[in-house]
Amino acid sequence: MSVVGTLEGASSKSGAAGSIRRPFGPRLYGVLLIAAILTFWEVSSRLGWIVSAYWPPVTKVLWAAALQLAGGDILLSLASTLRRAATGYAIGSLLGIALGILLGKSKLLRVALLPLIEIVRPIPTPAVIPPLILFLGVDDALKIFAISLATFFPVFTNTFAGVATVDDTLIQTARTFRTSWARTLLRVILPATLPAIAAGLRTATSLALVVAVVSEMVAGSSGIGYYLVEMQYALRPDLMYAAVMYLAITGYAVNRLFLVAEARLIPWMGKT
């Protein structure tokens, strides 16, 4: 066998080995980091490094999480929160996409609406919840409105910016062929803007969940946010931390599902 053939064979083997190891490397490091943090949590509580009634061992928290799952109460609370978050997310996303496209293509609408949007956008959504209670009460209308508001801005901003970057040559070509505005929107503008819209939608998923929990903590009678406050007042830190763990797992799962859907629906995302 020649030297070149030997080198090619060695490189192909190393490449194959690298392709096998590469998918597991970063994930393994992430798992090890989480395990190290949980181990430190357990040891610091057991050995008294952190002396506090509100710092239970992680094993106690995991046991409380198992009991919560067996009882089913935590699942009902999560389902209630996710229902509100999904409803507000859908409303805010649709409005953000629609207004982003309209303002991106209409100078009149930009002049009329963009100043108002830019004034409201920097206001933190939790700061708006107390005044909204005066008008919407403490029912689901308040929470869904707050979630929609938080979702709207990242989706609108990314959609508006995406429309502005669409190559004008594509639009002029569509006009040359006398393509209708609706067809140009669906066949030219929307596909070119989808990566920007997807980035806004992904940012909005975490915001929707955060605002849903915050609104339930401020003015709720159900949901995971209300459950957290209840456990705090009941002096049950193990159940409180367990609920936070379930929230973290839920947020991670939602993000992974979004990435899978994004890869399937927008395969050209991130490609040049």
pLDDT at position 27 over 90: no
Torsion angle of C-alpha atoms 140, 141, 147, 150, degrees rounded to 10: -160
pLDDT at position 244 over 60: yes
Q: Which residue has the higher pLDDT, 11 or 54?
A: 54
- Answer whether 96's CB lies under 8 Å from 156's CB: yes
What pLDDT shows up at residue 4? 45
The residue whose two tokens read 């108002």 is 116
Over the stretch 157-181, which tens digit does the pLDDT of each residue have? 999 998 888 877 777 777 777 777 7
What pLDDT shows up at residue 272? 45
Six-digit token string for 99: 């207004």
Could you tell me the pTM of the whole model?
0.82
Rounded to 5 degrees, φ, ψ at 124 are -65, 135
Q: What percent of the chain has pLDDT over 70?
A: 89
Instruction: Look at residues 178, 163, 150, 148 and name the one whose alpha carbon lies nearest to residue 109.
Output: 163
User: Torsion-angle region of residue 269: left (phi > 0), alpha (psi -120 to 50) or beta?
Assistant: beta
Separation between Cα atoms, residue 207 and residue 213, nearest integer Å: 10
What pLDDT shows up at residue 106? 83
Alpha carbon 159 to its chain's center: 17
Alpha helices (H) along the chain: 3-21, 25-46, 58-71, 73-105, 107-120, 125-136, 140-164, 168-176, 181-184, 190-219, 224-233, 237-265
- Answer whether 174's CB lies under 8 Å from 109's CB: no
Looking at this protein, which amino acid is placed at residue 29?
A: Y
Over the stretch 107-146, which tens digit does the pLDDT of each residue have? 888 888 889 989 998 888 888 888 888 888 888 899 999 9
Distances (CA, A) of 141 to 42, 127, 215: 41, 17, 11
Average pLDDT over residues 27-43: 88
Look at the alpha carbons of 41, 45, 49, 50 in this order and tell me if their dihedral is positive or negative.
positive
Q: Which residue has the higher pLDDT, 29 or 161?
A: 161
The residue whose two tokens read 């060695």 is 10
The residue whose two tokens read 């067996």 is 70
Over the stretch 66-106, which tens digit does the pLDDT of each residue have? 988 888 888 899 999 999 999 999 999 999 999 999 898 88
Torsion angle of C-alpha atoms 150, 152, 153, 155, degrees rounded to 10: 120
Q: Output the CA angle 246-248-249, nearest 5 degrees.
A: 65
User: Torsion-angle region of residue 51: left (phi > 0), alpha (psi -120 to 50) or beta?
Assistant: beta
What pLDDT shows up at residue 16? 46
Instruction: Look at residues 125, 190, 123 and name the one whose alpha carbon lies nearest to residue 151.
Output: 125
Look at the alpha carbons of 252, 256, 262, 268 in this order and tell me if their dihedral is positive or negative.
positive
